[in-house]
Amino acid sequence: MAKKIRIGLIGGGEGSFIGGIHYRAAMLDGYYELVCGAFSSDPEKSKRSAGVYHVDPQRAYPGWKEMFEKEAAMPEDKRMQAVIIATPNYLHYPQAIRALENGIHVICDKPMTISLEEAEALAGKVKETGLVFALTHTYTGYAMVKEARQIIKSGKIGNIRKIVVEYPQGWLSTPVEETDNKQAGWRSNPEFNGPGGCLGDIGVHAANLAEYISGLTIESLCADINSFVSGRELDDDANVLLRLRGGARAILYASQISAGEENPLKIRVYGEKGGIEWQQHEPSTLMLRMLDQPAQVLRAGQNYEYLSDIARWNLRLPAGHPEGFIEAFANIYRNAATDILRYMGTEAEGTEFAEYPTVYDGVKGMQFIEKVIESAQSSNKWIPFD
Amino acid sequence: MAKKIRIGLIGGGEGSFIGGIHYRAAMLDGYYELVCGAFSSDPEKSKRSAGVYHVDPQRAYPGWKEMFEKEAAMPEDKRMQAVIIATPNYLHYPQAIRALENGIHVICDKPMTISLEEAEALAGKVKETGLVFALTHTYTGYAMVKEARQIIKSGKIGNIRKIVVEYPQGWLSTPVEETDNKQAGWRSNPEFNGPGGCLGDIGVHAANLAEYISGLTIESLCADINSFVSGRELDDDANVLLRLRGGARAILYASQISAGEENPLKIRVYGEKGGIEWQQHEPSTLMLRMLDQPAQVLRAGQNYEYLSDIARWNLRLPAGHPEGFIEAFANIYRNAATDILRYMGTEAEGTEFAEYPTVYDGVKGMQFIEKVIESAQSSNKWIPFD
Amino acid sequence: MAKKIRIGLIGGGEGSFIGGIHYRAAMLDGYYELVCGAFSSDPEKSKRSAGVYHVDPQRAYPGWKEMFEKEAAMPEDKRMQAVIIATPNYLHYPQAIRALENGIHVICDKPMTISLEEAEALAGKVKETGLVFALTHTYTGYAMVKEARQIIKSGKIGNIRKIVVEYPQGWLSTPVEETDNKQAGWRSNPEFNGPGGCLGDIGVHAANLAEYISGLTIESLCADINSFVSGRELDDDANVLLRLRGGARAILYASQISAGEENPLKIRVYGEKGGIEWQQHEPSTLMLRMLDQPAQVLRAGQNYEYLSDIARWNLRLPAGHPEGFIEAFANIYRNAATDILRYMGTEAEGTEFAEYPTVYDGVKGMQFIEKVIESAQSSNKWIPFD
Amino acid sequence: MAKKIRIGLIGGGEGSFIGGIHYRAAMLDGYYELVCGAFSSDPEKSKRSAGVYHVDPQRAYPGWKEMFEKEAAMPEDKRMQAVIIATPNYLHYPQAIRALENGIHVICDKPMTISLEEAEALAGKVKETGLVFALTHTYTGYAMVKEARQIIKSGKIGNIRKIVVEYPQGWLSTPVEETDNKQAGWRSNPEFNGPGGCLGDIGVHAANLAEYISGLTIESLCADINSFVSGRELDDDANVLLRLRGGARAILYASQISAGEENPLKIRVYGEKGGIEWQQHEPSTLMLRMLDQPAQVLRAGQNYEYLSDIARWNLRLPAGHPEGFIEAFANIYRNAATDILRYMGTEAEGTEFAEYPTVYDGVKGMQFIEKVIESAQSSNKWIPFD
């Protein structure tokens, strides 16, 4: 894996939170080299960001369309091969489509688009091109989340009966979108953000995590969504009952008015013989509780032979050396890289573990948002999924 | 408070879990003396239990009806003044009514009755007699639960927006009612148990805790209840969305098939300015999280002047000396005792803190069970409360 | 076990912390009936306490000598059979000796005496009389501490290499003995308290816990003790390196100037194959960590068949229902009761588990205090134990 | 900060644990570009590692001496400007000296050398050249450790009375050095490792952390060190009492036979008015406990204005997004980078926070090791520091 994948970045200009994360996640394991960017819709700002991202100022473009154009014109051994899309949601779709049309692999932030329709169209395009499309559902990048999935897959805890997945945050407890908080700003505008407020921002993470870990899919749901802060157009709190195919039931909630909470995304899955529990604030720990036995504390650690191969592949350190959010994010980059490299004809180590969220997870996410909103507006109790 | 209240016990015979708890809770602080009992419906067993409970074998009666009769015939300074009802649910109503008719104060296990109708009739009788009726909703007996209530009452965390109360247990993950587990046995039979399975056993605790801490009441609910273990007649899992009067929303769940869980009843309440969190597995700790401030760890301790007077009154020990379930249970006994003593003309210390669950909490509990079941059977989304 | 043991209490008058604990611990399980007391050295106060402890005012004596005298003169079926000694340390010896001389069983607070000499003399007297003498080293009363001992005894974690036992408290961070804090008052006076400050108050608990759990004994030690608060005569902080017979090493520390700490007595024991960890703030949990395996969370619960019989005997509740400090204390009372009953000719249930700290633990405690002080004053590195 | 610092790596070849960490830490924030390496003492292996580290194979040198030679001959705008030393301890000194002589900045693993003498000579050389020398005492790179230091510096918890710093690991519980574990291999040989076993590997981290957070220095110490695994030449367990200048006392222990422990380095510092606690397994949390107040949970988060500027500078993410070991490591790289850039004439952002462990920390570490060993061999109780 000597050659690095040449990648460009759209978004991530001054005041961006997620840009720096994408950058670090891409850098961490050495698979990528950032060669260009359209860091801001403001050409001046975009230029200034070249320094921040150690990019040749000539390749800090004033706009994303120009970036695709100019890069396409560069010699094949110089031009970008992949692109990071870290822009407000409404831009994901046009940018991703353009990248794919130019033969460029995509690593895209979530939620994938601002409508299910867009999401399905994008999935069609990905299929058509055969290019790699990774969606940064960070949380399934954690090694111990992958371990949880393996445990459930193995049948160890038996058929699943119940899932509780919760994602409480408190940062929108006040109308921060009315301050100059850039994050809160565009997220509060349905035009830029899409229809789901906390649904789109974090609800889709919760749904994705539940389906990923359990291997189950949603059959129908019943939701109550709210907008607690006065003047806020989009939901800031969502409570959902779910029925999963095969008979399991679930509770999912996402909230951004849970005052005092940081980011403790948490999931519990209960089967006939045992249960598992994982929480993002302590991501290196996975609890496994078998009926009438002492609970077991499974811990991240490359050295732990009791972990599955895939979990260990997604770790970099021995036990007791915490890996965090950036490392989980980087796992998506790393696993996508092995697929990109394979596409390019280079077989990289770890291809058998090259698992990461794709355009199909993005489609599901958009479907989830739309169904929850439909349910919230309906007096029917259960809204079926197709 | 020199004189002890003479109390009798119905139930608690061999194999009983709750009998020993009632006994210890009554003994702990010295307010009560156990003078008689109808420990089992089997006269032989009842007699044998006299030793266990250190009761004069003459006053270990073969049945509860006989107990009330014989005790009524005893000299006034000897006969029972209060009774503990620790029997299967269907017996609570007739036993409590009889006690009240005989002028005897009642400490009754929950759920209070097997129907809302019975519950309301009982409430009428309590009101009529003016006697003390305490319902052992243990969890509101914890000092830090009382502290949580005080904090919310004080307005510190602002108007409440959201409550999440969860009560997962795993002990009914298998059909234990088909073994000789006495606890599971009668609970699985609607005739003896009433209509709510895990709803009646633990769901009412969760609802009671939420209303107690928040001071809010339920406006409507939407429920999904399940019976996962094949052959089980009653619910073993209940997931409920709630709307509370004044605009707050809540999620409540109770489950006895959450494999691997013990008894981690937990509540989180989020207001406009902060949130609180309490969990029964670590009952001496109450988390208080104000927006943008370090979370505060409020701890039980008679010596902590930052706690409210009522919380400190309900503690016996300095910080770092854990008080547990029996102490919480005993707080109900202790606080009811001050009311019983007052009724008898003795002013005891702490009467201003004499707060404990009453017959009205019992009525609410039965209403909760009936509404959840109604919702579960309905295709209407929201079932209103009166 | 129908008959209750008639017990008296010395100490526990107004402002006492430990009196109420002894009382509740004695009451909890119904083995004892409090029949008399010398609650205070002030006859008026002693009288007033009769009400608090529900004792016949005639038997609330003005002094402990009078109590022994008057009780001895009472009819055999009325007089006290056992005594609780909950007085300042310097009184333990004369009171215990007198009790034993009168044929009365003793439950005594720790540290046992104010000198090793006294302790040895007392041990001689106990042996001579054959009466029951229990010392309230509370922490070894916890069920999960007993479980830890069983695990180590079984060889599961292999030969022990290292122990770390720590007991940090913060309540003496300021000169509280100069306020009217009664607890701190006599404890600061060597004449009443004996030579060890925090050593006597909590250091002996730490040493007792380490020896109890590990089954090992101290060979030599090296200590640094301090008195941080100006004007304080006795130690308020002690740090000790220990060598145990058989080759294990240990660190023990006790401190009452560890600002902000409550009472988190904690022990870790490491063997060749695994380690265990227990902490008093969460007494229902025992961590077991075997090499290269997921850690196991052993939990208190009468229903857990994976626990040893002795641990389960010392529990009253199913898993998830916390038992705390009073329950641990009560285990000493309960286990001593089975021995007292046996002495009286009644075989009680659980005699095979009748394990509790005795006069020999008291002797060891006094030896520990004296050796630590000797070491602190010596320039020799290691002070041997006999 | 557009230009990246060109850095080389010595060590990190196949089977290395620390090489990959240095690499990722250097890559994470984009300050460095890895341009060359002498990855192994085996020329073949070194060559093979070029791919792993994305380095031009021409610049993957067969040995470190050759690397320095060849790089010095390269054009100024191509050649290495800094070097990472990630080799067995005995090589640190000659490699660092050579780098400094060539005008190359050094980022060196710890312990710094294999003797105090070497350490002092190296400090002299650093001073003489004025070049940047950073020592990777990772743990002081954590933002919340820096916060702890700021709190103590501010006087918030008052004068320090006591420190407890502990570093238990279990990975050397068995003779892994006799297997093909490369990490354990050279560490067990005093010639390659230096005189301190677990002392050098982790003891110096504990000592460094205590001095860094408290701002205090060691006055004298008293140590007991052990080698529990038979056949092991160096210490695998060290227990130390410390007296600090100004009157504070401390306990420090480091152990690699604490079976079942991963890497829970932990420190508690107690002052006159409060205490702080930090543990590496949960590095985003810092407990602050002021006397008689609820404990405060200080949490990592760029958004938390209650944190000091330096703590926030050393964070990359908002609260609830865990940063781990690599991020702490990268903080050393990042802060050293601002000094290297300043040396080169480029003012980078954050120079006012450019704090990281230097050659003087390395000198102290070697002194600590030597004094502990001296104490362990002495019958004198206290071994003074100069």
Q: Would you call A230 exposed, middle or buried from its count of C-beta atoms within 10 A (0-12, 13-18, 19+)?
A: exposed
- Is the model's pLDDT at B12 over the cut of 80? yes
Cβ <8 Å between C319 and B4: no
**pLDDT tens, residue order, chain D (386 aa):** 457 999 999 999 877 888 999 999 999 999 999 999 999 989 899 999 998 898 999 999 999 999 999 999 999 999 999 999 999 999 999 999 999 999 999 999 999 999 999 999 999 999 999 999 999 999 999 999 999 999 999 999 999 999 999 999 999 999 998 887 766 778 888 899 999 999 999 999 999 999 999 999 999 999 999 999 999 999 999 999 999 999 999 999 999 999 999 999 999 999 999 999 999 999 999 999 999 999 999 999 999 999 999 999 999 999 999 999 999 999 999 999 999 999 999 888 888 998 999 999 999 999 999 999 999 999 999 999 98
Cβ <8 Å between C325 and B326: no
The CATH number assigned to the domain holding D351 equals 3.40.50.720
Residues B239-260, mean pLDDT to the nearest whole number: 98
Q: What is the DSSP letter of A319?
A: T
| Count of C-beta atoms within a 10 Å radius of residue D309 | 13
Assign residue C12 a region (left: φ > 0; alpha: ψ between -120 and 50; beta: otherwise).
left
Asked whether the beta carbons of A254 and A309 are under 8 A apart, the reply is: no
- Is the model's pLDDT at A8 over the cut of 70? yes
- Is the model's pLDDT at B224 over the cut of 90? yes
* pLDDT at residue C306 in the model: 98
- Is the model's pLDDT at B81 over the cut of 90? yes
**D292, D294, D304 ranked by CB distance to B296: nearest:** D294
User: B199 and B225 share a domain?
Assistant: yes
Cβ <8 Å between A21 and D316: yes
Q: Are strands C133-135 and C105-108 parallel, antiparallel or unpaired?
A: parallel
Does residue A371 lie within any of the structural domains?
yes
Residues of D in contact with B293 (CB under 8 A): 306
Q: Is the peptide bond before B111 cis (omega within 30 degrees of 0)?
A: yes
pLDDT digits (tens, 9 = 90+) for B106-144: 999 999 999 999 999 999 999 999 999 999 999 999 999
Does residue C325 lie within any of the structural domains?
no
ipTM: 0.96
Does residue C62 lie within any of the structural domains?
yes
CA distances from D137 to B17, B167, C73, D125, D309 (A): 55, 45, 74, 20, 21
User: A195 and A70 share a domain?
Assistant: no
**C292, C297, C305 ranked by CB distance to A295: nearest:** C297
Domain encompassing residue B340: 5-139+334-358
CA A103-A106-A111 angle, 5° bins: 140
Percentage of chain C surpassing pLDDT 70?
99
Q: Which of A41-45, B364-368, C33-37, C284-288 is predicted with the least confidence, judged by mean pLDDT?
A: A41-45
- Is the model's pLDDT at A45 over the cut of 60? yes
Q: How far apart are CA A131 and CA A339, in angstroms?
A: 9
User: A84 and A206 share a domain?
Assistant: no
Asked whether the beta carbons of C127 and C196 are under 8 A apart, the reply is: no
Q: How far apart are CA B269 and CA B254, in angstroms?
A: 17
Cβ <8 Å between B294 and D306: yes
Q: What is the DSSP letter of A21?
A: H
Q: Would you call C43 exposed, middle or buried from its count of C-beta atoms within 10 A (0-12, 13-18, 19+)?
A: middle
Place of tokens 């050389």: D125
Cβ <8 Å between B297 and D296: yes
Does residue D119 lie within any of the structural domains?
yes
**C1, C4, C28 ranked by CB distance to B28: nearest:** C28
Residues of D in contact with A14 (CB under 8 A): none
Of all residues in chain A, the one with the smallest CA distance to B174 is A272
Place of tokens 């109708």: B117
| Minimal CA separation from B323 to chain D, in Å | 18
**C173, C251, C272 ranked by CB distance to D259: nearest:** C272
- Is the model's pLDDT at A165 over the cut of 60? yes
CA distances from C180 to A223, C176, C184, D105 (A): 59, 8, 8, 62
pLDDT class of A189 with cuts at 50, 70, 90: confident
Cβ <8 Å between C272 and D239: no
Asked whether the beta carbons of C215 and C150 are under 8 A apart, the reply is: no
Cβ <8 Å between C296 and A292: no
Q: Which residues make beta-bridge pairs with D296?
A: B296, D288
User: B185 and B219 share a domain?
Assistant: yes
Asked whether the beta carbons of C9 and C37 are under 8 A apart, the reply is: yes
| Minimal CA separation from C17 to chain D, in Å | 18
Q: How far apart are CA D316 and CA D304, in angstroms?
A: 12
CA A79-A81-A85 angle, 5° bins: 110
Mutate which: B156, B296, B299, B305, vs D, most D CBs within 10 A: B296
User: A124 and A173 share a domain?
Assistant: no
* pLDDT at residue A349 in the model: 85
Q: How far apart are CA C288 and CA C151, in angstroms?
A: 9
Residues of C in contact with B32 (CB under 8 A): none
User: B354 and B372 share a domain?
Assistant: no
| Minimal CA separation from C156 to chain A, in Å | 15
Supply the mean pLDDT for chain A: 95
- Domain count for chain C, please give it: 2
**C27, C281, C324 ranked by CB distance to B30: nearest:** C27
Does residue C98 lie within any of the structural domains?
yes
* pLDDT at residue B1 in the model: 44
Q: What is the CA radius of gyration of chain D?
A: 21
The CATH number assigned to the domain holding D249 equals 3.30.360.10
Cβ <8 Å between D322 and A322: yes
Residues of B in contact with A226 (CB under 8 A): 161, 249
User: B158 and B301 share a domain?
Assistant: yes
Q: What are phi and psi of B16, to 5 degrees?
A: -80, 140
- Is the model's pLDDT at B2 over the cut of 80? no
Place of tokens 């959450």: B258
Asked whether the beta carbons of A287 and A296 are under 8 A apart, the reply is: yes
| Minimal CA separation from A105 to chain C, in Å | 40
- Is the model's pLDDT at A82 over the cut of 70? yes
Chains that touch A (3 or more CB pairs under 8 A): B, C, D
Q: What are phi and psi of A283, to 5 degrees?
A: -70, -15
User: A215 and A127 share a domain?
Assistant: no
pLDDT digits (tens, 9 = 90+) for B171-218: 999 999 888 776 677 888 889 999 999 999 999 999 999 999 999 999
Q: What are phi and psi of C84, to 5 degrees?
A: -100, 125
User: C177 and C115 share a domain?
Assistant: no
Half-sphere exposure of A99 (CA within 13 A, CB side): 29
Does residue D384 lie within any of the structural domains?
no
Q: How far apart are CA D307 and CA D353, in angstroms?
A: 14
Does residue B50 lie within any of the structural domains?
yes
Assign residue D331 a region (left: φ > 0; alpha: ψ between -120 and 50; beta: otherwise).
alpha
Torsion of CA B221, B226, B231, B234, to 10 degrees: -20
pLDDT digits (tens, 9 = 90+) for C299-320: 999 999 999 999 999 999 999 9
User: A87 and A147 share a domain?
Assistant: no
Cβ <8 Å between B23 and C17: no
Cβ <8 Å between D296 and B299: no
Supply the mean pLDDT for chain C: 95
* pLDDT at residue C179 in the model: 84
Among the residues of D179-284, which ranges form H helices?
A: 182-187, 190-193, 198, 204-214
- Is the model's pLDDT at C1 over the cut of 50? no
Q: What are phi and psi of B66, to 5 degrees?
A: -60, -40
User: C10 and C106 share a domain?
Assistant: yes
Q: How far apart are CA B76 and CA D44, in angstroms?
A: 100
User: Residues with Cβ < 8 Å from D92, sequence gap 6 or more?
Assistant: D85, D108, D109, D111, D112, D113, D114
Q: How far apart are CA A310 and CA B380, in angstroms?
A: 45
Q: Would you call D154 exposed, middle or buried from its count of C-beta atoms within 10 A (0-12, 13-18, 19+)?
A: exposed
pLDDT digits (tens, 9 = 90+) for C56-65: 999 999 999 9
Cβ <8 Å between B323 and C319: no
User: D171 and D269 share a domain?
Assistant: yes
* pLDDT at residue D209 in the model: 98
* pLDDT at residue A1 in the model: 45
* pLDDT at residue D2 in the model: 58
* pLDDT at residue D27 in the model: 95
Does residue B327 lie within any of the structural domains?
no
pLDDT digits (tens, 9 = 90+) for A249-259: 999 999 999 99
Q: How far apart are CA D342 and CA D339, in angstroms?
A: 5
Residues A114-123, mean pLDDT to the nearest whole number: 97
Asked whether the beta carbons of B104 and B111 are under 8 A apart, the reply is: no
- Is the model's pLDDT at B253 over the cut of 90? yes
